[in-house]
Amino acid sequence: MSESDSKPLVLILCTGNSCRSQMAEVLLRRAAGDVLRVESAGSKPSGYVHPLAIEAVKELGIDLSEGRSKSLDEFLDQDVETVITVCGNADQACPVFPGQVRRYHWPFDDPPHAGGSEEEQMEVFRRVRDEIDRVFSAYGHGRRDSLA
């Protein structure tokens, strides 16, 4: 068993796994990756990570350029300790995973639905990124404290 396999797995779900769940994954990993294994997936994966999501977290010094939109099916046979859904569709489609102890639903606006110029859209991505960062950083720090 590798060190990462011994860490509790937190799976963050969204529909497309192209934006919110991707940002939450890297932000939670930054906050608690030393004590948690953090992954994200989608109920209907888009097949890409949104370029403005990549840009938004890059502004925080996080490289998401190698991110991959994954299906929740990849995790059905894994011991997922905690599932966190970040959109209503994923919350409704979420299965129960083996070993699942906790489940949370923390919805966030979907930035790709923002209209306007690219800069106006980017402002929405930044706002949602910052909201996700506040919630997932607090959660990650709390989990790190409880596992210490």
Asked if the structure places residue 143 within a domain, the reply is no
Q: In this structure, is residue 68 part of a structural domain?
A: yes
- Number of domains, the chain: 1
> Which residue range forms the structural domain that includes residue 15?
3-137
Give the full edge-to-edge strand order of the sheet including 9-14: 37-42, 9-14, 80-85, 102-105
Closest CA to 101 of 1, 6, 29, 9: 9
Does residue 144 form part of some domain? no
pTM of this structure:
0.91
Lowest mean pLDDT segment, chosen from 9-13, 91-95, 115-119, 124-128: 91-95
Question: Is 148 contained in some domain?
Answer: no
Assess if residue 52 is contained within a domain. Answer: yes
Catalytic residue among 11, 14, 56, 80: 14
> Is 87 one of the catalytic residues?
yes
Residue 94 among the catalytic residues: yes
Known catalytic membership, residue 14: yes
CATH of the domain at 65: 3.40.50.2300
Q: Residue 23: which of 106, 94, 91, 82 has the closest Cα?
A: 106
Q: Is residue 146 part of a domain?
A: no
The pLDDT value recorded for residue 88 is 74
For residue 16, tell me if it sits in a domain.
yes
